[in-house]
Every structure is written in C-alpha cells, then in structure tokens.
Structure 1
C-alpha cells in the first residue's frame, strides 16, 4: 500500500482520490493551532489520516528527528570539521550509547506500547551511502578520509578513499 506525505492539500494529485487507487494519505503537519481554517476540515472530508487533535506526535504518525533521537553523529557546520557532534562521522559514533538513547527517546515520544501508526526517522545531516554525500555534505567524506589517514599514516589518497568509503558505508548502515 503506498503512503504519501504532502504539505498542502493543493499539492495532492487528483488520482489519489479515485476509489480504484487504494492508498492511505497521512497528514504530518502540526495543524492543531490551525483547526479553525477550512484546510484542516478538508483533511477528514477527503479521508486523509490525521493524528488525534491534529498533534504533531500522535496515534497515526510520529516523526523522529536526528537532534532529538539517539546520538546520531553529524557536523553543526558543514564547513567546519571542529563542529563535530557525537563524533561527526558514523565511524566514530558510540553505537551502544546511541541505541540506549534511541530506546529511551522512542518510549518518550511513543508511550503507548500498542502504537500501530507510522514512525518516521527523519535524518538529513548525512546520507547512508558514501557517494550520496556530495556538495555541502562532502565533509563526511573528507573527515572519513582524515580519520583513515590518521590511523594508517602515509597512504595515498586513492587507498585512503577506498578504506574510508568502506568504513563509512559499513558504519552508516
């Protein structure tokens, strides 16, 4: 069953409302303060699933963001290697501490042990595959290579990149 996420009813493709096209559409915008507007009333009218009370975390969908979920490694500033948080690169993450915090964070955000909604991990600081960390996210490649060179000394860039890529991909998955 397809699941779609949209930020406005205006952007919904018309065929999603065709009865022969089965799908569930989940609204994931914190509209609890906007309930007086017509748009929120249209959500139920079109059969779009909405958290009870239009809350951001609820019974239908919960979003978990990197800075409030676990101990994801990342850089606060993509142009400053000294801005590393939780090790910066996945190879330096403390996976045991991360998973322990994840467990606690899930319990806080989803206190109902019978929750059967959708939990979305929305992590955007880096991408889990080496080659997908381009443009501003290239710091994850350069710092991974620096980590390899620090440990292996005077190896050439091609070899360092292969090792760094392998380590990054393994650690990020």
Structure 2
C-alpha cells in the first residue's frame, strides 16, 4: 500500500513525467500559478519562432519575403550572429536548465513535404534557378531546385542547433513540429474508417532526417486538435500514432539512449476558441504519459486573453480542468515509477494500442486545495491497483540508472527505494 503527497517539483529529466507550461499568459491577471498544479514554468521552456531567433527566411501570408524568403538567400554568418544576440537577450542565464524549442514551421527541409501553402517555397526556388539558367529544361530546374533548397535548409537548421547548444548547453534543444506523421486530415479524422496510422512513406522521410535527430537534445512533435463529436476515436488515433512515431524516431537517433520526447499540445482547438476538454487532455497528455514520453508542453503561441472576462475563463479552466488533470497524471506516473521501477524509471504501456492510462483510482485518492489555488493528490494506492499497473505497464529505466536498475529489478523490496528521488517531493510509505 502506498500513500502519496505530491508537491511541485524542481525540474529534473529523470522524473517519470513532466507537464511544462509554454503559454504566454503573464499579462492575464488573476490566473492561477501553473506551479501550484505541479506544472513547470518560469523559463523552463524557451520557445522561439520564425521572427524571434536569428534571420530565419520565410514568406508572410501575403507572400512578402522576410530575410530573403528562401533558405538559399540566407547569410549564415549574419544569421548566427543574430542568434547569439537573441539568445543573450532572451536567456541571460547561461547555466539554467530547461527545454529549448525552435518552432520553425513555415517550410520543411524536405522538398516533397512542402505541400499546400508551403508550395510557394518550391515555386520560388524554381523561379530563382530559372533566372540563372534560362535554357535549362523543366527536369533540370526541378532536380537542382530541390538540391539547392534542401542543402540550404539543412545548413540553416544544423548550424542553428549547433549554435544554440554551444551558447546555452544546459537546455535540451530541438526543432518543432518534428517528427511528423502528417496523419491529420480534418475531412477524415471523424470518420469510422480513419486509422491515424503513420504512412510508410512519411516514416521513410522521417528516417531521412537522421542528420536532424542526431543534433537534437529532445524531440518536439506537435499535437493540434479539432473538436470532434463525443464517442469518436479520431483524436486518440491521431495523437497516439504521432506520439508512437516520435518515440520510434527517438530510438533511432544513434545515441546511447533514446532522445526524450516532449509533445507540444496546443491547448485551444484549431478552429474554435474553446479549450481542450478533459477527454482530449486524456487523448494527449494522458496518452503521452502512458506511451513513455518524458513529458508534455502545454502550448499556445498567443492566447486570446485580452479582456478580464477571457482571463477569468482561462483561469477557471486551469483551476477546474487542466490543473487537476495534470496533478492526477503526474502523481500516478510517479507512483507507478516508484512501485514498479523502484523510482528508477517510468512506466510504459506494454501494448501501445491498448487505451490504458496512468490515472489515480478515484475511489482512493482526493485532490485537496493546496497553495495558491492549486491542488494536491492525497490517498492510498491499493495493492490491487499496483497489480493492474504490472499487468498493463513495463519499466523503462532512466538513462544513467539503466544497468543498476535492471540489477535491482528482481531484488524488489520497496524498502530501499521509497525515498524521494532526485528533486521529487514524494512521501511513499512501505507497509
């Protein structure tokens, strides 16, 4: 039997599951402190966009070129000088740990993935080459436009990652929204025959991005949802396959251990101003925890909270829906990590396709008021519930502890492992 009391934690990447705050809401007066619900913030997550780091080239929605528009026009020296200045201004503390996300999505570094609105980069690349070689055939222009574009795009991304890691080495840097399954189709996701599976062609293209994965400290796939009718499985199928593909890529990166995966979860539905329902928090946050992600980033580029009414609505959502669920899933993940993995790893679904989750049993746990309008979980975890976790989940050991943890697995005995782990404030009593 386990009794647990969870308080906010200091950032550590050897905790079973983290919920991190990436919403620019500091101007929203009256909203609760995310830390009161165990969500990390205050500089833990640094997210940079196309207009906030360096001289990233792109076209606006009105087709106006910024910084040359195309990667082929970029001066790497000038770009990296600006990156250095932007990092110094945005992250003045060089040694502060955290996550570093470059959310550059105006174009992708792979020619054939620049579809729909992104085809302008292909059109402009072809036009650029035709100006230099007007006598070339269509085939020659197509071939060398792709070569030039991909080489320039890859160079920008690689050199930028190298620079940010050199300047702020304590952060886990990576690009978002990568990897991607491109399995979201608003016309198909609500249909009964939608599978959400990652197409083999997209998985092969993700494999070709090994140069990116090997230079990344973490992977940051993105989960953006449409509000679907209750009872449809489309959201879960979309999210679980995106997460599964990110975990697959994380294992292929060529390093000794898998890269940590932190999905960016857009907290507002794509085509509405409403916040994610609790069901869709389960489909995203809960799914990420159960599948073995290191955590999630609750994310929004800009939040429409300019009025006191909208701020009040947002605050109510955090207090009543998001915050309590974050406490629930992070507490359950930590308890499972202690009870199954002796505090040395995280619990991961044995069968990825099974909708089993790391949730506290409602009959045995309560969420009580705590701190600045936050809540904490308190209760006892029955032995029968631990047995259910053992049936549905396996341990994935933390990197530095993998060998030692494996040696201790059979020894069991929670007596040696019920102490607080790293910065985790966890009171767990062995009986």
TM-score norm. by structure 1 comes to 0.73
Looking at structure 1, the residues matched to 126 and 139 of structure 2 have their Cα atoms a distance apart, in angstroms, of: 10
Alpha carbon RMSD of aligned pairs, Å?
A: 1.9
Alpha-carbon distance between aligned partners in 2 of 1:35 and 1:99, rounded to the nearest angstrom: 37
Moved over 6 A (4+): none
1:128-167 → structure 2 map (5 Å cutoff): 128-167=109-148
Higher normalized strand content (fraction of residues): 2
1:45 to partner: Cα distance? 4.7
Q: How has the CA–CA distance of structure 1 residues 120 and 143 changed in structure 2, closer, same or farther, with 3 Å as cutoff?
A: same
Higher relative contact order (CA 8 A, sep 6+): 2
Query: 1:62-96 deviations in whole A, cap 9, x for unaligned?
Result: 11111121111111236x4xx21211110111111
**Do structure 1's residue 67 and structure 2's residue 48 form an aligned pair?**
no
Report how far residue 30 of structure 1 moved: 2.2
Change (3 A) 1:77 1:46: closer
Matched, 1:44 2:25: no
Query: Residues 154 and 122 (structure 1 numbering): CA distance in 2 closer, same or farther, change over 3 Å?
Result: same
Q: Which residue is equivalent to 2:67?
A: 86
Tell me how far apart the structure 2 counterparts of residues 35 and 76 of structure 1 sit (CA, whole Å): 32
Name which of 21, 24, 28 aligns with 2:22.
Answer: 28
Q: Distance in 2 between matches of 1:33 and 1:93?
A: 35
Deviation at 1:31, TM superposition (A): 2.9
Q: Out of 39, 58, 61, which is 1:77 matched to?
A: 61
Which whole-Å CA distance do the structure 1 matches of 2:41 and 2:65 have between them? 37
What secondary structure sits across from 1:66 in the alignment? coil
Identify the match of residue 102 of structure 1 among 83, 103, 115. Answer: 83
Quote how far apart the aligned CAs of 1:46 are. Answer: 4.1
- The offset of 1:108, in angstroms, is 0.4
Unaligned runs of 5+ in 1: 1-20, 52-57
Q: 150, 170, 180: which is aligned to 1:169?
A: 150
The alignment's TM-score, normalised by the length of structure 2, stands at: 0.31
Post-superposition offset of 1:47: 2.2
Aligned-partner SS, 2:97: coil
Q: CA deviation at 1:159?
A: 1.7
> 1:116 is matched with which residue: 83, 87, 97?
97
Report the structure number with the largest CA radius of gyration. 2
User: Higher helix share goes to which structure?
Assistant: 1
- Name the SS for the 1:27 alignment partner: strand
